[in-house]
Chain A
Amino acid sequence: GPQELALLERSLGLQEGNKYGVQGERKIPVLQTSNGPGLIGLVTIAAYLVKQAKKEQLLGSTAEEKAVVQQWLEYRVTQVDGCSGKEDTRIILKDLNMYLEDKVYLAGNNFTLADVLMYYGLHPIIADLTVQEKEKYLNVSRWFNHIQHYPGVRQHLSNVIFIKNRLYTNAH
């Protein structure tokens, strides 16, 4: 919601000053613009902020990269935000772990808005994982640990600890 958008604004280096509200039962964020009806929805507003900050590369450079970024932004709002319960979480982590096996960032080789919003969306889930689970989803842990160290992203969110000495698995 609005708090996440404030986090995003700061990570983009934008001065605060945008006014946010929420709409409806599901508390969808709304951004009041100076002219027009306002922008509705996390992804819409986030993309707008990226352009405001003149950091369009965060939306992807090539056509394929842009599509992948959109794919993960959509995933964040439909799968992660709609997730309820251990079973949903398990499916998300399993899919993400497989996907990240050969990638450093969600879009492949470049840091994008997809990484930021997935990080914010997954933070409460990852923060609650046991040591064993973090080892099980090794690629997710690697990616998450990387993003939380990216300058400007984590801010006041808690730093999730990932142990370097693997306690449970010897085979990969």
Chain B
Amino acid sequence: MGFGDLKSAAGLQVLNDFLADRSYIEGYVPSQADIAVFEAVATPPPAELCHALRWYNHIKSYEKQKASLPGVKKALGKYGPADVEDTTGATTDSKDDDDIDLFGSDDEEESEEAKKLREERLAQYESKKSKKPAVVAKSSILLDVKPWDDETDMAKLEECVRSIQVDGLVWGSSKLVPVGYGIKKLQIQCVVEDDKVGTDMLEERITAFEDYVQSMDVAAFNKI
């Protein structure tokens, strides 16, 4: 994680790409995560890094409230895209995660809006601790499932295939394709998470329906 060196053009580019579809470094409200990165960036990013600049100007508008934003400042290496190497030399000590400052009771002027934001942020922080924010590799696979003969009930065959429910497997659309002699094969699309589902396993499960399925082939395989 981390953005690399945020004082370098390369680091700012990583930040810019990261923020293209995000309003904040973490979650959907401004937090100490934004303050940590903001302080590391120090000066406004150049105009061509439009997402980083948008974020920078937005966080700047919270300058006065920065101490009361939710969350706990962590080492810079803890933020940002999961696939970037942490070059900040920070330790992977996760003790910080348990130390949520409940923002004391000395802020009497807290508006209702800020309170709601803070509570939402806390809930997100809790759920984030239990989820892995990894980037998931997926593939789109087109399978050809062949029946024994032209009398095979293709509707039942499709039902059998779709009944295979596995974590990391999502069935897509399908169609029947004639292959000659009145026989039709089932061509069905699926999207799989690479580290959970493989074509071997799919073949095993599908050909297990021996009454209907003669064989299965991979017609097309694309990384997405």
Quick check: B21 and A149 within 8 Å, CB to CB? Answer: no
Q: Known contacts A104-B54, A149-B28: does B61 contact A142 (CB below 8 Å)?
A: no
Q: In the assembled complex, which residues on chain A have CB atoms less than 8 Å from the CB atom of B23? A: 104, 142-143, 146
**Alpha-carbon distance between A152 and B28 when the two chains are bound, in angstroms:** 13
Q: Taking the complex as formed, is A63 at the interface, i.e. its CB lies under 8 A from any CB of chain B?
A: no
Q: In the assembled complex, which residues on chain B have CB atoms less than 8 Å from the CB atom of A138? A: 20-21
Quick check: A142 and B22 within 8 Å, CB to CB? Answer: yes
Residue interface mask A147-172, B partner, CB < 8 A = 1: 00111100000000010111100001
Quick check: A172 and B116 within 8 Å, CB to CB? Answer: no
Quick check: B20 and A109 within 8 Å, CB to CB? Answer: no
Residue interface mask A55-91, B partner, CB < 8 A = 1: 1010000000000000000000000000000000000
Residue interface mask B20-34, A partner, CB < 8 A = 1: 111100011000000
Q: In the assembled complex, which residues on chain B have CB atoms less than 8 Å from the CB atom of A141? A: 21
Quick check: B21 and A145 within 8 Å, CB to CB? Answer: yes
Quick check: B61 and A151 within 8 Å, CB to CB? Answer: no
Q: Taking the complex as formed, is A101 at the interface, i.e. its CB lies under 8 A from any CB of chain B?
A: yes
Per a CB cutoff under 8 Å, which of A102, A143, A150, A152 touches B53? A102
Q: CB-nearest residue of chain A relative to B17?
A: A172
A-B contacts counted at CB < 8 A amount to: 47
Quick check: B120 and A151 within 8 Å, CB to CB? Answer: yes
Per a CB cutoff under 8 Å, which of A109, A162, A165 touches B58? A109
**Alpha-carbon distance between A109 and B70 when the two chains are bound, in angstroms:** 18
**Alpha-carbon distance between A167 and B22 when the two chains are bound, in angstroms:** 16
Quick check: B21 and A164 within 8 Å, CB to CB? Answer: yes
**Alpha-carbon distance between A103 and B119 when the two chains are bound, in angstroms:** 24
Q: In the assembled complex, which residues on chain B have CB atoms less than 8 Å from the CB atom of A172? A: 16-17, 20, 51
**Alpha-carbon distance between A162 and B21 when the two chains are bound, in angstroms:** 9
Q: In the assembled complex, which residues on chain B have CB atoms less than 8 Å from the CB atom of A103? A: 54, 58
Q: Known contacts A102-B53, A149-B28: does B61 contact A109 (CB below 8 Å)?
A: yes
Quick check: B58 and A142 within 8 Å, CB to CB? Answer: no
Q: Taking the complex as formed, is B113 at the interface, i.e. its CB lies under 8 A from any CB of chain A?
A: yes
- The interface of chain A, by Cβ under 8 A from chain B, is 55, 57, 101-104, 109, 138, 141-143, 145-146, 149-152, 162, 164-167, 172
Can you pick out 12 interface pairs between chain A and chain B where the beta carbons lie within 8 Å of each other?
A101-B50, A103-B58, A104-B55, A109-B58, A143-B23, A146-B23, A149-B27, A151-B117, A164-B21, A166-B21, A172-B17, A172-B20
